Amino acid sequence: MGNATATPIELVYDDGGASCRIGLIVLATDLATESDFRRALVGQSVEFHTTRVLNANPVTLENLRTMGPQLGECAGRILPGMALDVIAYSCTSATVALGFDTVAAQIAAGRDDVPVVTPATAALNGFTAIGAKRIALMTPYLTEVGEEVADYFRSNGIEVLKQTHLGIESDADMALLSPGSIKQAARAAHHPEADALFISCTAIRAMQTLDELESVLKVPCLSSIQCLLWDALRQGGSDLNLATDGSLLTGRTEGF
């Protein structure tokens, strides 16, 4: 056997090849968030690193709040000791049920060195970016949960002209709702005087329907996952515009 020797090559360390690193916390039953992020970010130097949090069905305010105490441990599992630019918690209704301050504090217990974004707060930032003050709201939730989301937006200065809730009890069932059904329900949920349509819930595959909905409804159409990705990029230091999935992500401001 030969003698072991130290390499003569100077080892160089870099940022791992990503311009932005997103830590992503998704629900245990989530089928949509990672898929939508992956599809939207093809060819971009943005990476996301996922962990999952246990969620309980049916989707009630009480059950949504059970995720709160788990968030610190979930956040602590994402690249411990390594650089992250932002942590995105992918649940709109739980953010509303818990309150953003609680979500942020729970995540900070496990990872306190990065900003936190959620779909609910990202939607507010998105409304501001496009100048939307009056919205139509569609959710897949039971009425009690959907009205809580509407009240959250109202309490933050957004007028909800119309709200439509599909009454689905299980997050797992929401994940299997077809894009065709989402488009049909969204068209019916729109209000002609709304500045935008917002489709709530990261469980459903709404992001891939937004381009078609905007072409039909002639207003900006936003969804929870779309807003979460858009705000995570910006909070993470990226002003990247993407090629598809609605005017918020593409940066298009005309044509409505």
Is 90 exceeded by the pLDDT of residue 252?
no
- Full-model pTM: 0.95
Kindly state whether residues 145 and 190 are assigned to the same domain: yes
User: How confident is the model over 169-214, as pLDDT tens digits?
Assistant: 999 999 999 999 999 999 999 999 999 999 999 999 999 999 999 9
User: Is residue 219 very low, low, confident or very high in pLDDT (cuts 50, 70, 90)?
Assistant: very high
d(CA 41, CA 228): 13
Residue 153 inside a domain? The answer is yes
Residue 84 inside a domain? The answer is yes
Kindly state whether residues 215 and 150 are assigned to the same domain: yes
For residue 244, which phi and psi values (nearest 5 degrees)?
Answer: -155, -175
Residue 12 inside a domain? The answer is no
User: Is residue 2 very low, low, confident or very high in pLDDT (cuts 50, 70, 90)?
Assistant: low
Is 90 exceeded by the pLDDT of residue 110?
yes
Residue 192 inside a domain? The answer is yes
Kindly state whether residues 135 and 159 are assigned to the same domain: yes
Kindly state whether residues 141 and 168 are assigned to the same domain: yes
Kindly state whether residues 108 and 165 are assigned to the same domain: no
Kindly state whether residues 164 and 241 are assigned to the same domain: no
Position with higher pLDDT, 12 vs 78: 78
Helix 224-235 vs helix 33-40: crossing angle, to nearest 10: 60
Residue 161 inside a domain? The answer is yes
Q: Is 167 left (phi over 0), alpha (psi -120 to 50) or beta?
A: left
Closest CA to 170 of 30, 1, 21: 30
Kindly state whether residues 128 and 218 are assigned to the same domain: yes
Kindly state whether residues 125 and 176 are assigned to the same domain: yes
Residue 8 inside a domain? The answer is no
Kindly state whether residues 132 and 158 are assigned to the same domain: yes
Which residues make beta-bridge pairs with 136?
162, 197
Segments forming the whole domain that contains residue 236: 20-119+228-246
Domain count, the chain: 2
The SS3 of residue 85 is coil
Kindly state whether residues 140 and 104 are assigned to the same domain: no
Kindly state whether residues 89 and 111 are assigned to the same domain: yes
Mean pLDDT of 155-159: 98
CATH number for the domain that contains residue 40: 3.40.50.12500
* Preceding omega of 58 cis (within 30 degrees of 0): yes
Kindly state whether residues 172 and 101 are assigned to the same domain: no
